[in-house]
Structure 1
Amino acid sequence: MDPSTLFAVAPTFPMDDVRIRDRSRETMLRSPLTWLPLLGAGAMGFALDAGVAGFVLLLGATVALVSRYWKKRRPAVDAASLRELIGESNAAQDQELKRIIGSLESKGLPQYSLCLGRFLFLKQKIEKDVHRGQHFAVFAQEVEKGVDGICAEVCREITGIRAREERLGEILTSRQPTQLERLESARRESHAAILHAYTSLYQVHAEILGLGSDPTERETVEDPGELPGQRLQEILGGLRDEADMIARTHARIRRTIEECPPAVEAPRPEVVC
């Protein structure tokens, strides 16, 4: 497959706890709330001519107070670090998708460039809206996993479509109609899988917007017995398998195409001297 149109960035989740702790440590060390008290303790030691023992006592007490402060604040700092890392990961994925979109455009495939551009736009809206409030936290990780997996598989599927289309000239002159039928069937399956993936993402975004709206407005359109987020959970149940479904479709198409017998070159007319 052409690597220029394959998605080559890691998904956002699972997020490594070590990365979160390292980012939180960097945040705390850079904070004025860490180094200003230490500078103040040192200045006080000089002003009071405290000597070595006094310096050690002042600095030790200050370090203890600063550590106690950050220990209480640690959950909030870790949450902020997680948000930063998620944002950086999503930004890297967006840049990768833009690279692939540009590659498709440069290769004369504007239809697939437009398709992937709309996936990117919807991805950005979902990732923005799903992190807007605390009540989305239970869904956010599953949504991110589903979106990342679908975008990666859609890029892979488009690459597979391109690879199959490159055989069209050979197939049209193969004198084997079954090869053309298989190619057309593979194209339809690929297009249907991409369409289904986009529809699923669109439904997820619609449910996220619905959960974020005024509860009094939702009561008029929801079943009174339906729990908040129940519909989104149901859609996510299918979204978790969406990327796998596209992958299975891709594998099935590849096996079908590979089973085709090689094209037989038409005999060349004999040249009579």
Structure 2
Amino acid sequence: MDSSTLFSVAPTFPMDEGRIRDRSREMMLRSPSTWVPLLIAGAVGFALEAGMAGFVLLLGVTAALVFRYWNKQRPAVDAASVRELIGESNAEQDQELKRIIGNLTSKGLPQYAQGLGRFLSLKQKIEKEVHHSKHLAVFSQEVEKGVDGICAEVCREITGIRAREEGLGEILTSRDPTRLDRLESARNKSHAAILNAYTSLYQVHAEILGLVSDPLERKTPEDAKDQPGQRLQEILGGLRDEADMIARTHERIRRTLEECPSAVETTKPGAFC
């Protein structure tokens, strides 16, 4: 199997805690709130001719105050680090999808390239909107997982279709109609799985925008085991759950806006009156 169209970039979540800590440390070190007070302390010590002991004392007190300041700011810094890492991860995934789209185009498969391009566009819209709204922040990680998983599995399905198609010439001259029937059945199931994936992502985006209010209907295939698109259907199940939750959240938000609009502006995400 040609793996050049497989999605090889890691999902955004789960996010390594060590990466968050390292990024937060970098942000604090390069912040003026860290080095400006130390420069001022050094300048004061020089102006007062404090000597070595004075310099050490001034810098020590200043460093302690800076450390205390960042301890209080740590939750906000970590949140900013997570946002930055999410943006970098999503950009890397987008580049990977663009690579695969180019690969499909160069191999004479523009129909799959066009389809995957629409998945990429919808992925970007969902990620932008889900992180833009404070009311949906509680769902952002699970939606990210679902979207990342869907895109990876769509690439896997397309790769599987290509691998099966490579044997079409031999099948057409095999004098065995059942082999052709099996190939057609597998292709149809993969196409249906990709179509359902796009439909579900489109519905999730609509829910995020608050354009629809009815939760998605959950449909689980009875004979999905070991069939093309099985893993894709499993991921879709989780994504549908997220769409349901988003729809219910929008209902709560709308009710809150009607009942106590002033409270929405002052409460934290997920807290409703």
Alpha-carbon spacing, 1:33–1:147, altered in 2? closer, same or farther (3 Å): same
Q: What CA distance in whole angstroms lies between the structure 2 residues aligned with 1:45 and 1:160?
A: 69
Query: Any idea what the Cα deviations from partners look like across 1:183-231, whole Å, max 9, x if unmatched?
Result: 1101110000101111111111110000xx8xxxxxxx758xxxxxxx4
Q: Mapping of 1:22-37 within 5 angstroms?
A: 22-37=22-37
Query: Per-residue deviation at 1:249?
Result: 3.1
2:227 counterpart (249, 253, 259): 249
For the 8 Å contact 1:193–1:249, the answer to whether it is kept is no
Partner of 2:140: 140
For the 8 Å contact 1:153–1:247, the answer to whether it is kept is no
Q: Mapping of 1:88-127 within 5 angstroms?
A: 88-127=88-127
> What is the aligned residue count?
230
For the 8 Å contact 1:102–1:113, the answer to whether it is kept is yes
Query: Per-residue deviation at 1:36?
Result: 1.0
Q: What CA distance in whole angstroms lies between the structure 1 residues aligned with 2:58 and 2:66?
A: 12
Matched, 1:183 2:183: yes
Give the secondary structure class of the aligned counterpart of 1:130: helix
Query: Per-residue deviation at 1:135?
Result: 1.1
Q: What CA distance in whole angstroms lies between the structure 1 residues aligned with 2:132 and 2:226?
A: 34
Query: Per-residue deviation at 1:3?
Result: 1.8
Matched, 1:67 2:67: yes
Partner of 1:47: 47
Partner of 1:83: 83
Q: What CA distance in whole angstroms lies between the structure 1 residues aligned with 2:99 and 2:213?
A: 41
Between structure 1 and structure 2, the one with the greater Rg is 1
Query: Per-residue deviation at 1:17?
Result: 1.1
Which consecutive segments of 4 or more residues in structure 1 shift more than 6 A? Answer: none
Alpha-carbon spacing, 1:192–1:82, altered in 2? closer, same or farther (3 Å): same
Alpha-carbon spacing, 1:81–1:248, altered in 2? closer, same or farther (3 Å): farther
TM-score by length of 2: 0.79
Query: Per-residue deviation at 1:248?
Result: 4.8
Query: Any idea what the Cα deviations from partners look like across 1:101-156, whole Å, max 9, x if unmatched?
Result: 00000000000000100000000000000001221111100000000001001001
Q: What CA distance in whole angstroms lies between the structure 1 residues aligned with 2:35 and 2:26?
A: 12
Letter aligned with residue 11 of structure 2: P
Gaps in structure 1 of 5+ consecutive residues: 214-220, 224-230, 253-273
Query: Any idea what the Cα deviations from partners look like across 1:215-263, whole Å, max 9, x if unmatched?
Result: xxxxxx758xxxxxxx4xx78xx69x99xx99953387xxxxxxxxxxx
Q: What CA distance in whole angstroms lies between the structure 2 residues aligned with 1:193 and 1:88?
A: 29
For the 8 Å contact 1:5–1:104, the answer to whether it is kept is yes
Partner of 1:228: none
Query: Per-residue deviation at 1:96?
Result: 0.2
Q: Mapping of 1:152-163 within 5 angstroms?
A: 152-163=152-163
Matched, 1:6 2:19: no
For the 8 Å contact 1:154–1:246, the answer to whether it is kept is no
Letter aligned with residue 14 of structure 1: P
Partner of 2:196: 196
Q: What CA distance in whole angstroms lies between the structure 1 residues aligned with 2:26 and 2:67?
A: 14
For the 8 Å contact 1:193–1:246, the answer to whether it is kept is no
Q: What CA distance in whole angstroms lies between the structure 1 residues aligned with 2:166 and 2:40?
A: 70
Gaps in structure 2 of 5+ consecutive residues: 231-273
TM-score by length of 1: 0.79
